[in-house]
Amino acid sequence: MDDLNGNHSKMFLNANVTISSEKDQDEEALVDSTLVPLVGKRLIYMYENGWEYEVYYKNKSSIDYKVLKGMVAGRCVNNQIIHMRRVSAMSEMFMVNWTEPTGTCVCQVVDLDRRSMQSVIFFPHWVVDNPSKTVLFQNDHLPIIATYRDVGPTYPIRVVNESGFIHTILNSVLDNERHMS
């Protein structure tokens, strides 16, 4: 069966599942290799507003991070699920996006060549009103974080659009569980 783009794939109509072809797996491997310059790196960066973060790009689909300075300084998160892609084959620039259990959404553009970080962070209103509720090791408190998020309020959302400088770049191995806790 051909999909809308003319690609051949087998589909289970009742389960609505697509089985990947060898071509898709080869494309997946190519995407993975393009992420090599970022995965396994630990970056420490500061935004122009003074907020400072440490982030470890653990693998192609998760990060660990700590907030060192700013509205939620002291917050620590392990195994945050992310979406990552390389922006340009000509540079070491990456787009990384995620939605946190708090309801906060983050979009980063990481430019290793220029050591710059561009981010847009969408904070739900409850986080802006009570940031201290998120200043903890999130992984140990997911049920209470989900309760806070569900109670809200979500709106109005505070949008923080910041530029920053990556002042530290450290190489590490993939999937190191000892980087942050």
56 sits in which H/E element = strand 52-59
CA angle, corner 101, sides to 106 and 157, nearest 5? 55
139: helix, strand or coil: helix
CA torsion, ordered 28, 85, 53, 163, to nearest 10 deg: 180
Q: Is 52 a catalytic residue?
A: no
100 is catalytic: yes
Positive or negative, the CA dihedral 142, 74, 100, 115 is negative
Q: Which of 47, 53, 56, 57 is catalytic?
A: 53
CB 124 within 8 A of CB 102: yes
47, 56, 65, 100: the active-site residue: 100
Residues in the chain: 181
Using DSSP, state whether 7 is helix, strand or coil.
Answer: coil
- For the annotated catalytic residues, the residue numbers are 53, 100
